[in-house]
């Protein structure tokens, strides 16, 4: 029996594998990757590395085995056929009868277009009859703190989220929840709404940035249409800019506030404070 992690060298996948290695022997972990060179460090530590691609169903033939626990990390190519890509893994898991398939989804309250592929994947997974765990991950601190250059260049947090609040957490926090599900018992057919312990507004984010940098970082609120123009002008493809503006609209409506406490309970500790993530982002 293996614990299988797809997208294992991605931003979230690396955290999951690293934390799994703190709990189980390396030879019980299978890292599924597209580029094996990126997983060389895992292989050196005894992790099984399997090469497969969501876009090539045949690469999953024989990869999974009965009794495996699988973490399906959602594809990162927004705008592609992500539901079809995820179905490749679900079908392969169903064919052999895995013990559990956990999927990194989006909050159940999120109505933005970004959630459409997740809702579609959840439907495919539930209809498969597989034992499942829905890990409905909220927003990541790193969505903000890994892209501080333009904020610091213009001394402004520009957004269309109004006074809305976000229950974000770090990738390491969400990884800890996934590891708890993959290594624990009793998580079959469960849905977890995951988010940080403290919800914050973009105004508070700007104020914390001001405190840590010693600069006056403005809370620059704009309309969704204006934000699309700003993001497209900065080089983002317009369809993706529209999706991001849609997320801000959802934030304004309160759809990224998660009050379940599921994340800290699964992780066994409080979630990472936003201020800590900002400090790390500024240091990087």
- Nearest-angstrom CA–CA distance, 27 and 16: 15
What tens-digit pLDDT sequence spans the chain (284 residues)? 899 999 999 999 999 999 999 999 999 999 999 999 999 999 999 999 999 999 999 999 999 999 999 999 998 777 678 999 999 999 999 999 999 999 999 999 999 998 999 999 999 999 999 999 999 999 999 999 998 999 999 999 999 999 999 999 999 999 999 999 999 999 999 999 999 999 999 999 999 999 999 999 999 999 999 999 999 999 999 999 999 999 999 999 999 999 999 999 999 999 999 999 999 999 98
Specify the pLDDT at position 79.
Answer: 67
Most distant pair of Cα atoms in the chain: their distance: 57
Give the SS3 label for residue 47: coil
Nearest to 224, CA basis, from 199, 202, 246, 191 = 246
Q: Which helix (H) or strand (E) holds 135?
A: strand 132-137
* DSSP code per residue over 20-34: HTTTS-GGGEEEEES
- Nearest-angstrom CA–CA distance, 115 and 109: 9
Specify the pLDDT at position 150.
Answer: 93
Specify the pLDDT at position 171.
Answer: 98
Structure-block tokens of residue 114 = 């970004």
- Nearest-angstrom CA–CA distance, 52 and 61: 9
Each domain of the chain, given as residue ranges in start order, spans 3-137+171-194+259-271
Locate tokens 């927004």: which residue? Answer: 78
Structure-block tokens of residue 38 = 């990126």
- Nearest-angstrom CA–CA distance, 86 and 96: 16
Nearest to 54, CA basis, from 6, 12, 97 = 6
Locate tokens 């709990």: which residue? Answer: 23
Specify the pLDDT at position 127.
Answer: 98
Superfamily the domain 3-137+171-194+259-271 falls into: NAD(P)-binding Rossmann-like Domain (3.40.50.720)
């Amino acid at each position: 029996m293996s614990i299988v992690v797809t997208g294992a060298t991605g931003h979230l996948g690396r955290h999951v594998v690293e934390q799994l290695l703190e709990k189980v022997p390396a030879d019980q972990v299978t890292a599924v990757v597209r580029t094996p060179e990126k997983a060389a460090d895992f292989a050196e530590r005894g992790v099984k590395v399997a090469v497969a691609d969501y876009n090539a169903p045949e690469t999953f033939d024989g990869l999974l085995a009965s009794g495996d626990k699988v973490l399906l990390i959602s594809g990162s190519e927004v705008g592609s056929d992500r539901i079809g890509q995820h179905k490749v893994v679900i079908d392969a898991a169903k064919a052999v009868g895995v013990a559990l398939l956990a999927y990194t989804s989006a909050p159940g309250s999120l109505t933005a277009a970004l959630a459409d592929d997740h809702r579609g994947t959840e439907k495919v997974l539930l209809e498969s009859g597989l034992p499942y765990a829905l890990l409905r991950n909220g927003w990541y601190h790193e969505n903000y703190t890994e892209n501080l250059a333009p904020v610091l260049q213009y001394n402004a947090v520009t957004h269309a989220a109004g006074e809305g609040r976000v229950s974000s957490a770090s990738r390491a926090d969400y990884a800890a929840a996934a590891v708890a599900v993959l290594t624990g018992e009793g998580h079959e057919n469960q849905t977890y709404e995951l988010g940080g312990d403290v919800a914050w507004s973009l105004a508070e984010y700007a104020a914390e940035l001001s405190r840590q940098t010693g600069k006056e970082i403005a809370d620059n609120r704009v309309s969704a249409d204006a934000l699309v123009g700003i993001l497209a002008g900065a080089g983002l493809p317009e369809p993706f800019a529209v999706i991001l503006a849609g997320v801000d609209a959802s934030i304004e409506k309160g759809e990224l506030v998660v009050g379940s406490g599921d994340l800290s309970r699964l992780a066994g500790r409080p979630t990472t404070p936003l201020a800590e993530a900002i400090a790390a982002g500024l240091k990087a």
